[in-house]
C-alpha cells in the first residue's frame, strides 16, 4: 500500500484527495497546511488518516512514500527539498518551481537520491490529450511538427479567485515573478514544450493589461499575453493567453508536414485535419462533412467514457497520478519527462524576463503602451 | 416611500454608547454597507468599516459621504486572513458586526478560508483586547438542516446541518463551521456573541433570484419552489435586525432568524418576476419529483465516482425545497424588531432594479 501525503490544503488539494481516493493500492496518511483549520477541513471531508500543520511532523508521523505539494508556488521548491531529503517521491503542482534553476536543482536532488518527481501538468493526461499523443506517436503528423498554437484563456469574471486577486493589493499571486500568468500559463506552455525538439527555443513576447482591467484601476496584472516560440528554422509555436477573448479557449493545434490535429480541452474533442485536400469544388462539401462525422465520433467517445465512469472533471489528474505511482513502483520513466519540465520553466522564465523588461521600458519612457514595437521589447531572448 | 428606521435610538437602553467604537467587517458588501448606514441613522458616531477591496472602499466612501458630518467613520482596508490586519481592526472596539464572508465561493477551501479562517483570526485578535461587549456573527438560514417532520416551521430551535460536507454547497459547509467556531470561542473564552441568521436578503445590489425558487442550470428554468414561502428579508429590514442584535441588552448568546412578514410563495414571486422584469418559460417540478430528482442525482454522483458533482441531493432538497414555514417571532418579541420596508415595497424596488439591469444587459 503506497502511503501518500498532501501538503497545502487549498482548492487544488481537493482534486488531489479526490483522485488519489479513486486509485487502488494507496492511502492518504496525512494532510498538512500551515493553517491548522485548513488542514482540518480537508481531513474532515476526505478519507484521510491525520492532519498536521507542520511538514516535519507530517513526514515523521505519517512516513509517506509520496508527497503531493499543492501549496502556493513560492513554497514549492523549499517544501520539495524537505520531502526529497526525507526520502519521499514528490508530485509538485504547477508551476513546478518559480524558475528553471530551481527546477534543475530539484531534479538533480531527486536523481541523487533515486527518487521520482512529477509536475502537475494534468491537462496533458486527459482522455483527449492521450488520444492526441497516441496519434502523434504513430506518425500522424508525417514528421516533426512544423507549427503549433496553444490557447490558454481565463475568464476572470467567472472566477472567485480572480475576484479575490483583483480586489486585494497584497494577494500572494502579485508577488510571483510572472504574477497571474505565473500561476496559470504552465498548462498551455507545457503542451508546446512536449513537442519541441531542441532545448533552446527563442521566445518573443507581447503582453499588456487589458482595457477592462485598466478600467477597474489594475496596473500590475498582465492579462493579455502573446508569445512566439521558435526553434532555429524548425518548429514554431504561438502561445495565447487572454482573459478577454471569447470563447475562452483551451485549445492546442499542431501541424506537421502531412496532417494536423486540433485538440479542444473544454469540449474534449480531437479533430484530424488531413493535409490532402479534396478535389477542387468538392473540398467545400467533403471536408465539412468529414468534420461533422469526426465531431459525432467525439461525442460517442465521450459518452462511452462517461458511461464507463471515467469522465470526471479531473480524470487527467487521476491518470497522471496513476502513471506517477506506477513509475515509482517499477522504477520506470516518470510520466512527464524532466526535459519537458525544465523546458517549460525555461520558456516561462524567458516570458517573464521580457515582460519585466517591457515594464521597465514603459516606466522609463512614461508610455504605458510601450509595446514590442520598441526595438528593446522585440528583443528575442534565447532560452538559455 | 419613506424608509426611516424603526430603530429609535435615544429611547432604547443599548449596550453601547453612541461614541463607542463599532467595527463592521464586510462593510463594503451588500448587507455590510446597509448595516453601516443603519448605525449612522441610529446616531452612532464612531465606526470602523473594514473592507478588503480598493473598489469596495471607494464605493463605501461615496455612499457614506452624505453622513460624514460630526461622525468619525474610518474606512480600514485589509484582509481578515492577516492576523496583523485583524489586530488593527480590533483595537478598541466594543461591538463587532462580522459580515465578511466568502459568499459565492464555489470551492470548499476558498469558502472556508474566507469565512472560517477569517473569523478565527478576528476572534483571536478580539479576545486579547478586553473591550469586546458583543460579537455579532452574521450567519445564514443555510446552516439549518430542516430534515425533520414533513411540515416544518423553521425557527431558532431547529438543528444545524450535521454533515454540511454532504450538502454539496461550499457556502453551507463554511457557514456551519463559522458558527461552530464562534460557539467554541464563546465557551472557551467567554466571547459574548449573537448569531443572526437571515433568510434570502434581497434588494438592489443582490439581484440573482433565490435558489429556493428554482434553478436555470439546464437551459429551462425549473421551478422547484411551487407553494413554498420564500424566506425573504429586504436589505434594510435585515440590516435593522443585525444592528439591533448587536445593541440590545437581551440579545447576548442568542440566535435570531431574520425573515420579513407577508413573504410571497415561490409561485407568487416567480409570477411577479416574469410580469415585472422579463417573461420567460419555466417548468414547475412538484415536490415529490424534485425530491426524486435530487435523490437520483445523489445516487448517480456516488455510483459514477462524482462524474457529476453532488450539487443536488436529499439534504439540499430538505433545506431548500421542502415546504417550510418561517418564524420571526423571537426577533420581534425579544428585540422589538419591526419591518421597516413592507414586502410589497421591497419587491417593487427589487423588480425595478432587476428590470434596469435587464435593460442594460
Ligand atoms: N446576501 C444574502 O442573501 C445573505 C443571506 C444570509 C446570510 N448572509 C451573510 O451576510 C453576510 C454578508 O453577505 P453579503 O450578501 O453582504 O455578501 P457580500 O456582498 O459578498 O459581502 C461580503 C464581504 O466580505 C468581504 N470579505 C470576504 N473575504 C474577506 C477577507 N478575507 N477579508 C476581508 N473581507 C472579506 C468582501 O469584501 P470585498 O468586497 O471588499 O472583497 C465582501 O464585501 C455574509 O456573512 C453572508 O454569509 C447573506
Task: Work out whether strand A147-153 and strand A250-255 pair parallel, antiparallel, or are unpaired.
Answer: antiparallel
* A7 Cβ under 8 Å from any chain B Cβ: no
pLDDT greater than 80 at residue B15: yes
Tell me the whole-structure pTM to 2 decimals: 0.92
Q: Which residue of A37, A44, A161 is in closest CB contact with B120?
A: A37
Average pLDDT value for residue range B101-106:
89
Say yes or no: CB of residue B197 within 6 Å of ligand 1: no
- Closest alpha carbon within chain B to A307: B304
Question: Which numeric CATH code is attached to A2-119?
Answer: 3.40.50.720
Tell me if B79 and A170 make a contact (CB, 8 A cut-off): yes
Report the separation in Å between the CA atom of B80 and the middle of ligand 1, taken as the mean of its atom positions.
Answer: 12
DSSP reduced 3-state for B157: coil
Tell me if A41 and B177 make a contact (CB, 8 A cut-off): yes
The larger pLDDT score, comparing residue B70 to residue A244, is at A244
Alpha-carbon span B144 to B157, nearest angstrom = 10
* A216 Cβ under 8 Å from any chain B Cβ: yes
* B165 Cβ under 8 Å from any chain A Cβ: yes
Query: Which residues of chain A have a CB within 8 Å of the CB of B105?
Result: 160
- Closest alpha carbon within chain B to A314: B307
**CB-based contacts of B168, cutoff 8 Å, min separation 6:** B309, B310, B311, B312, B313, B315, B316
Q: Is residue B31 part of a domain?
A: yes
* B56 Cβ under 8 Å from any chain A Cβ: yes
Q: Write the residue with the smallest CA distance to atom 36 of ligand 1.
A: B26
Say yes or no: CB of residue B51 within 6 Å of ligand 1: yes
Q: Is residue B290 part of a domain?
A: no
pLDDT greater than 90 at residue B26: yes
Alpha-carbon span B168 to A127, nearest angstrom = 26
Closest to A354 in 3D by CA, of A318, A383, A332, A327: A383
If one counts the domains in chain B, the total is 1
Q: Which atom of ligand 1 is nearest to the CA of A167?
A: 41
CATH of the domain at B61: 3.40.50.720
Q: What is the pLDDT of residues A185-211, one digit of tens each?
A: 999 999 999 999 999 999 999 999 999
A33 min Cα distance to partner chain B (Å): 12
Tell me if A42 and B53 make a contact (CB, 8 A cut-off): no
Alpha-carbon span B64 to B36, nearest angstrom = 9
Tell me if A45 and B110 make a contact (CB, 8 A cut-off): no
Alpha-carbon span B40 to B58, nearest angstrom = 18
Query: Which residues of chain A have a CB within 8 Å of the CB of B102?
Result: 160
Report the separation in Å between the CA atom of B26 and the middle of ligand 1, taken as the mean of its atom positions.
Answer: 5
- Among B23, B28, B29, B33, which residue has the most ligand 1 atoms within 8 Å of its CB, making it the best to mutate? B29
Q: What is the pLDDT of residues A216-260, one digit of tens each?
A: 888 889 999 999 999 988 899 999 999 999 999 999 999 999 999
Q: What is the pLDDT of residues B114-144, one digit of tens each?
A: 999 999 999 999 998 888 999 999 999 999 9
Which pLDDT does position A366 carry in this prediction?
A: 56
Which pLDDT does position A321 carry in this prediction?
A: 98
For chain A, domain boundaries: 2-119, 124-330
Average pLDDT value for residue range B260-277:
97
Residues A222, A208 contacting (CB under 8 angstroms): yes
B110 min Cα distance to partner chain A (Å): 7
pLDDT tens sequence for chain A (384 residues): 999 999 999 999 999 999 999 999 999 999 999 999 999 999 999 999 999 999 999 999 999 999 999 999 999 999 999 999 999 999 999 999 999 999 999 999 999 999 999 999 999 999 999 999 999 999 999 999 999 999 999 998 766 677 778 877 778 899 999 999 999 999 999 999 999 999 999 999 999 999 998 888 888 899 999 999 999 888 999 999 999 999 999 999 999 999 999 999 999 999 999 999 888 889 999 999 999 999 999 999 999 999 999 999 999 999 999 999 999 999 999 999 999 999 999 999 999 999 998 776 665 555 544 444 433 333 333 333
A-contacting residues of B 86-115, CB under 8 Å?
A: 102, 104-110, 112-114
Which pLDDT does position A8 carry in this prediction?
A: 98
Residue numbers of the domain that contains B33: 22-207+231-263+325-352
Q: Note the Cα B181 to chain centre separation in Å.
A: 17
What is B186-247 written as a DSSP string? Answer: HHHH---EEEEEESEEEBTTB-SPPTTTEE-TTSSEEE--TTPBP-EEEHHHHHHHHHHHHH
User: What letters, b where the CB count within 10 A reaches 16 and e where it falls short, cover A81-113?
Assistant: ebbbebebbbbbbbbbbbbbebbbebbebbeee
The counts of H helices and E strands in chain A are: 14, 14
Q: Is residue B107 part of a domain?
A: yes
Alpha-carbon span A129 to A135, nearest angstrom = 10
Say yes or no: CB of residue B6 within 6 Å of ligand 1: no
* A1 Cβ under 8 Å from any chain B Cβ: no
Q: Which residue has the cell 498532501?
A: A6
* B303 Cβ under 8 Å from any chain A Cβ: yes
* B55 Cβ under 8 Å from any chain A Cβ: yes
Which pLDDT does position A55 carry in this prediction?
A: 98
Report the separation in Å between the CA atom of B101 and the middle of ligand 1, taken as the mean of its atom positions.
Answer: 4
Strands (E), A232-369: 236-242, 250-255, 260-264, 269-273
* A170 Cβ under 8 Å from any chain B Cβ: yes
Q: 3.30.360.10, 2.60.40.1180, 2.40.50.700, 3.30.70.930: which CATH number matches A124-330?
A: 3.30.360.10
**Cell matching residue B29:** 458588501
Task: Work out whether strand A269-273 and strand A260-264 pair parallel, antiparallel, or are unpaired.
Answer: antiparallel
Task: Work out whether strand B193-198 and strand B46-51 pair parallel, antiparallel, or are unpaired.
Answer: unpaired
CA distances from B339 to A88, A140, B198, B200, B243 (A): 62, 71, 13, 15, 13
Alpha-carbon span A118 to A69, nearest angstrom = 10
Residue A187 exposure: Cα atoms within 13 Å on the Cβ side: 22
Closest to A2 in 3D by CA, of A26, A18, A28: A26
Tell me if B306 and A18 make a contact (CB, 8 A cut-off): yes
Q: Is residue B72 part of a domain?
A: yes
Q: How many A-B residue pairs are in contact by the CB < 8 A criterion?
A: 68
Q: Which residue of B106, B307, B309 is in closest CB contact with A160?
A: B106
Report the separation in Å between the CA atom of B107 and the middle of ligand 1, taken as the mean of its atom positions.
Answer: 16
Q: A326-330: which pairs have CB atoms within 8 A and are 24 or more residues apart?
A: A327/A116, A328/A2, A328/A65, A328/A66, A328/A89, A328/A116, A329/A2
Alpha-carbon span B87 to B5, nearest angstrom = 32
* A161 Cβ under 8 Å from any chain B Cβ: yes
Which pLDDT does position A383 carry in this prediction?
A: 33
Amino acid at each position: 500500500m503506497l502511503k501518500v501525503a498532501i501538503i497545502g490544503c487549498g482548492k487544488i488539494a481537493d482534486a488531489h484527495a479526490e483522485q488519489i481516493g479513486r486509485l487502488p493500492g494507496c492511502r492518504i496518511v496525512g494532510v498538512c497546511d500551515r493553517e491548522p483549520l485548513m488542514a482540518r477541513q480537508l481531513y474532515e471531508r476526505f478519507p484521510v488518516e491525520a492532519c498536521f500543520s507542520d511538514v516535519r511532523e507530517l513526514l515523521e508521523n505519517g512516513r509517506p512514500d509520496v508527497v503531493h505539494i499543492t501549496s502556493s508556488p513560492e513554497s514549492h521548491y523549499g517544501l520539495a527539498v524537505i520531502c526529497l531529503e526525507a526520502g519521499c517521491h514528490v508530485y509538485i503542482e504547477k508551476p513546478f518551481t518559480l524558475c528553471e534553476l530551481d527546477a534543475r536543482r530539484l531534479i538533480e536532488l531527486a536523481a541523487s537520491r533515486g527518487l521520482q518527481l512529477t509536475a502537475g501538468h494534468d491537462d496533458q493526461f486527459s482522455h483527449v490529450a492521450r488520444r492526441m499523443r497516441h496519434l502523434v506517436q504513430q506518425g500522424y503528423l508525417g514528421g516533426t511538427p512544423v507549427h503549433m498554437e496553444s490557447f490558454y484563456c481565463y475568464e476572470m469574471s467567472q472566477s472567485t479567485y480572480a475576484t479575490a486577486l483583483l480586489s486585494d493589493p497584497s494577494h500572494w499571486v502579485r508577488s510571483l515573478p510572472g504574477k497571474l500568468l505565473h500561476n496559470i500559463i504552465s498548462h498551455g506552455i507545457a503542451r508546446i514544450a512536449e513537442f519541441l525538439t531542441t532545448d533552446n527555443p527563442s521566445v518573443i513576447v507581447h503582453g499588456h493589461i487589458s482595457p477592462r482591467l485598466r478600467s477597474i484601476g489594475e496596473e500590475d496584472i498582465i492579462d493579455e499575453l502573446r508569445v512566439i516560440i521558435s526553434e532555429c528554422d524548425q518548429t514554431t509555436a504561438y502561445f495565447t493567453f487572454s482573459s478577454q477573448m471569447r470563447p475562452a479557449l483551451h485549445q492546442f493545434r499542431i501541424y506537421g508536414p502531412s496532417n494536423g490535429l486540433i485538440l479542444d480541452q473544454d469540449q474534449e474533442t480531437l479533430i484530424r485535419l488531413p493535409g490532402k485536400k479534396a478535389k477542387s469544388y468538392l473540398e467545400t462539401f467533403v471536408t465539412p462533412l468529414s468534420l461533422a462525422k469526426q465531431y459525432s465520433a467525439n461525442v460517442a467517445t465521450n459518452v462511452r467514457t462517461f458511461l464507463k465512469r471515467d469522465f470526471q472533471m479531473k480524470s487527467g489528474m487521476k491518470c497522471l497520478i496513476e502513471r506517477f505511482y506506477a513509475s515509482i513502483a517499477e522504477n520506470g520513466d516518470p510520466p512527464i519527462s524532466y526535459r519537458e519540465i525544465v523546458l517549460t520553466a525555461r520558456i516561462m522564465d524567458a516570458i517573464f524576463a521580457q515582460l519585466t523588461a517591457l515594464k521597465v521600458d514603459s516606466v522609463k519612457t512614461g508610455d504605458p503602451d510601450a509595446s514590442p514595437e520598441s526595438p528593446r521589447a522585440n528583443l528575442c531572448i534565447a532560452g538559455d | 416611500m419613506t424608509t426611516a428606521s424603526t430603530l429609535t435610538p435615544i429611547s432604547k437602553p443599548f449596550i453601547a454608547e453612541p461614541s463607542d467604537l463599532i467595527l463592521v467587517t464586510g462593510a463594503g458588501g451588500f448587507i455590510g454597507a446597509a448595516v453601516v448606514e443603519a448605525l449612522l441613522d441610529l446616531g452612532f458616531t464612531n465606526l470602523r468599516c473594514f473592507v478588503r477591496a480598493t473598489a469596495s472602499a471607494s464605493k463605501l466612501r461615496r455612499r457614506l459621504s452624505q453622513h460624514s458630518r460630526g461622525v468619525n467613520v474610518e474606512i480600514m482596508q485589509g484582509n481578515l486572513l492577516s492576523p496583523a490586519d485583524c489586530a488593527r481592526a480590533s483595537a478598541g472596539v466594543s461591538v463587532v458586526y462580522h459580515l465578511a464572508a466568502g459568499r459565492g465561493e464555489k470551492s470548499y477551501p476558498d469558502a472556508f478560508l474566507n469565512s472560517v479562517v477569517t473569523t478565527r483570526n478576528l476572534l483571536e485578535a478580539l479576545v486579547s483586547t478586553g473591550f469586546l461587549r458583543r460579537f455579532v456573527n452574521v450567519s445564514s438560514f443555510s446552516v439549518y438542516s430542516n430534515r425533520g417532520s414533513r411540515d416544518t416551521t423553521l425557527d431558532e430551535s431547529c438543528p444545524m446541518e450535521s454533515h454540511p460536507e454532504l450538502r454539496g454547497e461550499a457556502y453551507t459547509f463554511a457557514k456551519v463551521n463559522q458558527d461552530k467556531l464562534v460557539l467554541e470561542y464563546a465557551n472557551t473564552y467567554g466571547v459574548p456573541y449573537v448569531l443572526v441568521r437571515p433568510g434570502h436578503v434581497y434588494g438592489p445590489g443582490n439581484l440573482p433570484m433565490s435558489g429556493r425558487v428554482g434553478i436555470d442550470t439546464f437551459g429551462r428554468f425549473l421551478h422547484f419552489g411551487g407553494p413554498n414561502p420564500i424566506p425573504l428579508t429586504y436589505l434594510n429590514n435585515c440590516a435593522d435586525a443585525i444592528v439591533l442584535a448587536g445593541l440590545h441588552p437581551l440579545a447576548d448568546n442568542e440566535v435570531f432568524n431574520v425573515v420579513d412578514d407577508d413573504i410571497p410563495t415561490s409561485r407568487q414571486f416567480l409570477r411577479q418576476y416574469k410580469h415585472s422584469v422579463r417573461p420567460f418559460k419555466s417548468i414547475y417540478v412538484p415536490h415529490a419529483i424534485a425530491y426524486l430528482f435530487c435523490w437520483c442525482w445523489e445516487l448517480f454522483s456516488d455510483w459514477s465516482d462524482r462524474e457529476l458533482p453532488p450539487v443536488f441531493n436529499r439534504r439540499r432538497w430538505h433545506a431548500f425545497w421542502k415546504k417550510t414555514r418561517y418564524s420571526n417571532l423571537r426577533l420581534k418579541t425579544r428585540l422589538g424588531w419591526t419591518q421597516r420596508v413592507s414586502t410589497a415595497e421591497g419587491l417593487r424596488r427589487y423588480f425595478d432594479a432587476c428590470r434596469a439591469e435587464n435593460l442594460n444587459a
